[in-house]
Amino acid sequence: MAARLRGDKKFLGHDIVKGQSYLVTGGGSGIGEATAEQLVALGARVTICGRRAEKINAVAARLGDRCLAVTADVTHVKDRADVFRQAMAHGGGLNGLVNNAGNMYRAPIADFNQDRLLDIFNQNVISGMMLSQLAVPALAARQGAIIFLGSIHTRRAFPGAAPYAATKAALQTLTQVMAAELGDQNIRVNCVIPGAVKTEINERAGLGSTEDSATRMTALAPLHALGRIGQPMEVAEAIVFLLQSKWTTGALLDVDGGLGLGLTPL
Amino acid sequence: MTLRAIVTGGGQGIGAEIVRGLVSAGYWVGILDRNTAAAESLATELGSSEVLPVDVSDHLAVASAIESFGELDLLVNNAGIVRFGPLLDQSADDIASVIGVNLIGTINCAQSAAQLMAAQNGGVIINMSSVNAVHPAPNVGIYAATKAAITSLTQLQALEWGPLGIRVNAVAPGFIDAGMSAPIFLDDKVRAKRSGGVPLKRLGTAEDVVQAVLFLASNAASYIHGHELVVDGGVIQSVLAHLPRS
């Protein structure tokens, strides 16, 4: 028997994003790509950026004229300025910044490498902090919103994942401080905390081939109270909710199928 | 196909606004409330709804009313009361009443609803918590403890009922200028102080809460499970500690 479909994807205010302007970093794949796709589908203008031109260009080509691809590395000052300028021009201002770009660095404590630690904090945390700084005046003019991407790694401890987990915990704390600090400029700052979602970042974790990564992700399914891993679009939907929810700020929204609850088959 | 929901405490306050939101989103809504007059009046005004004249703390009455409602896609466990005052002054009746409605009531309704949903291929349950569950404020009596219990209950329901196809989450509103806390904000000084303490510089509206409920009820939240969504304009993680209730 087919499951009864519960509610469509329309909820109060879902149409608010129509005609608005968003910048999604790391928009070439995974959750960033799904977010851009959903925003465009709802009628928004979206600028995506990423380091790999072919990836983001392919996404923009698929999503059409309302999506602009800018090849950029957001760890670089000049690239951030360029992306921001182009997003402002493409969307005629900015309503939301989705700091999605991020990378993976796993290492047991004995193998910590200082340069790689600095690099992962630069990629995952500092680039988003500085891009947010750049965007604040524009966002204040539009009662806009900033989104960060946290991680299930802050809810459950996975041995070997300390570097990545620490960067994501930093983003979650950053969300709450920035929310308190930017509230009087009417800028909302929120964070989604995805559970196991199959995207490229898992392959970059050094977990082996695409097949190995898929097998490992599937093995995580029973640890979710909903019994399955998530889809990038399910995280994108939560991001869209937070972009348009007018009184939610400083929120850490778990989108994890109950993985964070700690279900452990014993 | 019409989706079917039950909203407890749906006759008045934020509950009534949730009922309005669901009816306008196309649901048929059961307004479960011991205040029958308020519930009847709302049902008459809105249509697409019916009244379940029940006290949530009455286990047998709840079980019978929810079972006879039949197909159920969504339960919003909204019924809640508060007895303001210092803990030292709370009477046995204050404590029992608040636990009876907020905690026992939530358990009663969720249990009956989950039994129906499990037999029908699943559903969605949304429990109303509070920022008091995250950081209690002085002088809210046993209310804060019942809301913290709802946080825990939400997690347990998610763990046990997720495999039955039931998605369970909570909404934790902050200072809302509606329902049970509306009287607090009639005092201009309190209103100014509380609004000023919210990073977004305003009190929340019933609509802010309704929007969160509709989101969690919808398939847009299909992977959100066991979560407590704080809707508070950012207040709970910033300055609540400096805003004692007086």
Instruction: Tell me whether strands B4-8 and A252-255 are parallel, antiparallel or unpaired.
Output: unpaired
Is residue A3 assigned to a domain?
no
In angstroms, what CA-CA distances link A80 with A86, A133, B18?
Answer: 10, 11, 42
Are B229 and A251 a contacting pair at CB < 8 A? Answer: yes
ipTM, interface predicted TM-score of the complex: 0.87
Longest dimension (CA), chain A: 56
Tell me the residue range of the domain where A47 lies: 21-261
Q: Say if residue A5's pLDDT is above 80.
A: no
Chain A contact for B44 (CB, 8 A cutoff): no
Q: Please give the tally of structural domains in chain A.
A: 1
Nearest-angstrom CA–CA distance, B238 and A179:
9
> Nearest chain A Cα to B227, which residue?
A254
Length of chain B: 246
Task: State whether A1 and B202 contact (CB < 8 Å).
Answer: no
Contact B226/A182, CB-based, under 8 Å?
no
| Residue pLDDT, tens place only, A40-85 | 999 999 999 999 999 999 999 999 999 999 999 999 999 999 999 9
Catalytic residues of B: 143
Specify the pTM. 0.91
Task: Report d(CA B139, CA B39) in Å as an integer.
Answer: 30
Kindly report, residue by residue over B155-179, the tens digit of the pLDDT.
Answer: 999 999 999 999 999 999 999 999 9
pLDDT in tens, B86-116: 999 999 999 999 999 999 999 999 999 999 9
Residues B200, A186: C-beta atoms closer than 8 Å: yes
Residue A36: give its domain's CATH number: 3.40.50.720
Residues 51-90 of A with CB under 8 A from B: none
- What residues in A contact B114, CB-CB < 8 Å? none
Specify the pLDDT at position B1. 79
Q: Is A164 a catalytic residue?
A: yes
Q: What is the nearest CA distance from A35 to chain B, expressed in angstroms?
A: 12
Q: Indicate the residue of B220, B225, B230 with minimum beta-carbon distance to A251.
A: B230
Sequence-distant (6+) residues with CB within 8 A of B208 are A245, A246, A247, A248, B173, B176, B231
Establish if B142 touches chain A: CB-CB under 8 angstroms. Answer: no
**CATH entry, B4-242, from 3.90.950.10, 3.40.630.30, 3.40.50.720, 3.30.413.10:** 3.40.50.720
User: Do A6 and B229 make contact, defined as CB atoms within 8 angstroms?
Assistant: no
Of B73, B163, B234, the CB nearest to A179: B234
Q: Domain coordinates of chain B in residue numbers?
A: 4-242
Nearest chain A alpha carbon to B230: A251
Structural domain includes residue A89:
yes
User: Is residue A9 assigned to a domain?
Assistant: no
CB count within 10 Å of CB B63 equals: 16
- Tell me whether B197 touches chain A (CB under 8 Å): no
Q: Do A5 and B226 touch (CB under 8 A)?
A: no
